[in-house]
Amino acid sequence: AVVAPETNCYVLDKSNYIYDFTKWVGKEFEYEGKDLVVRLCNDVQNRSKSGYVDFGHFNHFVAGHGNVDFVQEYYHGDLRSCEYYVYDNMGRTAQVNIFCGNCTNGATCKDESGCICSVTYDTTSCRVIVDLALSCGQPGPRIFQGFTVGFHPRAWEVVYNGITQWGYVKPQYGFSFGTEQTKVSLYFTAVAALSKLVSKPLYKVFPEKGLEIKLSGSASTGDPPTTLSPTVLDVTWRCQTKQDTPYEVNITVPIEGYDPVNFSLGKLCEYEQKGWATFGVLCCVLIVLSTAFCCAGFFYKTRVEGLYALPGMNILAACLEVTSGNDVSSQSSWEDSKYGSM
């Protein structure tokens, strides 16, 4: 699964491959010529004998343009002497242009992790622009940006922007669904122009036996989701075997040309749930027993009272009396026909 990094110090390149710089958060890169220090994904400072001047705190991390691989923005630095030069009292700001590899101006880095290549101050806007060469390493998975999975059409608790959120990477007890909940609906959305790249989801259950799973809904057939028309994946499950730990239901959504989106749902099974098949068998048994009792009672009554125990025989006998010309109002005639002459 494409998991959300532990910090926000990560970025997607121009081809949507992820680069995670979490291990370098706070690492200092110092430019001795102008006493400037960049603490990666933290802040930018000008350090001198007279004190420190803050040029902003880390705000966001995006892909760059041209030969610039990535760009970091730092906002809300020191405001002193910049009250009239910045917008909305934002304070000093910094832009860090990151180049993966070596400096483009020919400068050589002594530190294998990288170095500051150049620094440019813009005093009219209280802003500093830093060129930073960095050893970016190998990229991670290719992220399908804009893809979300949530429990409502406009939610993204499970997957946000193609990245699986914490709590759904592996089953967590606090995020698991209770035994009594037999169905959960997941809503998929994606950028309309790329929605046809989304295929129908697959699933695996661990342990393999003990939990009955069925997928349904428009997402289960691979219908393309969009932000205006989300598709829904209905997960219906039934506990067949009790288990102390949650069952792990891994759902994979293949994306053409991208790494698949994976997430896990936890299902608690504190007791076994009887299905409709069991209910149907019990109903059949009840019907058979009821029929048997009725037949037994009928045969017993016919042996004691004869054919007149059959339903409607009294009415039929009366009709026959009328057609034969006998007086049906005569008690003796009725009794003779029923029991014979005494």
- Tens-digit pLDDT profile for residues 251-276: 999 999 999 999 999 999 999 976 54
Mean pLDDT of the chain: 86
The answer to whether residue 144 scores a pLDDT higher than 50 is yes
The answer to whether residue 85 scores a pLDDT higher than 80 is no
What is the pLDDT, as a whole number, of residue 101? 93
CATH 2.60.40.10 location in the chain: 148-269
What is the pLDDT, as a whole number, of residue 306? 56
Query: DSSP assignment, residue 199?
Result: P
CATH 2.70.130.10 location in the chain: 10-134
Separation in Å, CA 272 to CA 18, 28, 212, 244, 283:
43, 57, 11, 12, 20
Percentage of the residues of the chain whose pLDDT score is greater than 90:
68
What is the pLDDT, as a whole number, of residue 214? 96
Q: Which CATH architecture fits 10-134? A: Distorted Sandwich (2.70)
pLDDT band at residue 328 under the 50/70/90 scheme: very low
Q: Give the pLDDT mean for 274-293.
A: 58
- 265, 171 Cβ separation under 8 angstroms: yes
- 190, 224 Cβ separation under 8 angstroms: yes
What is the pLDDT, as a whole number, of residue 56? 96
The answer to whether residue 305 scores a pLDDT higher than 90 is no
For the domain made up of 148-269, give the CATH fold.
Immunoglobulin-like (2.60.40)
Percentage of the residues of the chain whose pLDDT score is greater than 70:
79
pLDDT tens-digit map of 318-327: 665 666 655 5
Q: Give the pLDDT mean for 156-170.
A: 94
What is the pLDDT, as a whole number, of residue 173? 87
The answer to whether residue 207 scores a pLDDT higher than 90 is yes
pLDDT band at residue 250 under the 50/70/90 scheme: very high
Q: Which carries the bigger pLDDT value, residue 58 or residue 283?
A: 58
What is the pLDDT, as a whole number, of residue 48? 86
What is the pLDDT, as a whole number, of residue 199? 96
Strand order in the sheet with 261-269: 202-206, 243-253, 261-269
